[in-house]
Amino acid sequence: MRIDKFLKVSRMIKRRTVAKNVADAQRIFINGLLAKPSKEVKIGDLIELHLGLKVITIKVVSLTQLKDQDMYELISEEKRSL
C-alpha cells in the first residue's frame, strides 16, 4: 500500500491529498529513509511523521482496516522546539 493511502486509511491524516503534500514536503520517513508519496509500506515498517512541531513515530501493524483495531502502533510522540 502507498504511504499516502496508508496514512489516510489508518486515519493518521484526514485526506490523501494532505498526506501527499506532507510527503512532497519531505516530512515523512520510512525506516529512516525519506519517503515519496508512492513509497510502498509493509507490515513492521517504522514511519516518522514531522507534523508542525510534533514528531510522531508509528509502527505498521496491519495493511487492512478491521473494526476496532488500529493499523498502527504508536511508538513515540514528541514536541520539537523552534
Residue 67: the pLDDT is 80
Residue 17, CA distances (Å) to 2, 4, 44 in order: 13, 8, 24
Residue 38: the pLDDT is 94
**Mean pLDDT across the stretch 33-42?**
95
Closest to 49 in 3D by CA, of 65, 72, 81, 26:
26
User: pTM for this structure?
Assistant: 0.89
Class of domain 3-79: alpha beta
